[in-house]
Amino acid sequence: MNCRRCGKELNMDDVGLSRKMIHRATIQCFCVECLADHFELPAKILYEQIERYRAAGCSLFPPAPSSRLSMQRRKSPESPNPELK
Ligand SMILES: [Zn+2]
């Protein structure tokens, strides 16, 4: 599937966000940049929205291996670091 506006190839996040922001069953999907432009929002906000939906377990946003960084930031008991608050 490609962005209806700029023709960029869409990933699951783009499609999921289009469905969230336009219509659950929309067949007109846009890339994050075009969605941001259309809704006059910074793309950064939309990427944050995607991460929020993903964290909430939304089925439209399957967990991506590249977004596991936040998981590793959890305090791990193996490496106690009292100075780091
Ligand atoms: Zn686009």
82 Cα: distance to centroid of ligand 1 (angstroms)? 46
The answer as to whether 71 is a domain residue is no
Report the pLDDT value the prediction gives residue 35, as an integer from 0 to 100.
97
- The predicted pLDDT at position 2 comes to 96
Q: Which domain holds residue 11?
A: 1-58
Residue 64 lies in a domain: no
Give the pLDDT score at 84: 58
**How many angstroms does the Cα of residue 37 sit away from the middle of ligand 1?**
9
Gap between the Cα atoms of 55 and 61, Å rounded: 9
Whole-number Å distance, alpha carbon 46 to ligand 1 midpoint, is 13
CB atoms near residue 50 (< 10 Å): 22
pTM exceeding the 0.75 threshold for the entire prediction? no
CA of 11 to the centre of ligand 1 (A): 11
Residue 45 lies in a domain: yes
- pLDDT tens readout for residues 28-83: 999 999 999 999 999 999 999 999 999 999 999 988 665 555 555 555 556 566 66
Give residue 79 CA to ligand 1 midpoint distance, Å: 44
In a domain, 74, yes or no: no
Residue 64 pLDDT: 64
Distance 64 CA to ligand 1 centre (A): 21
What is the pLDDT averaged over residues 7-35?
A: 95
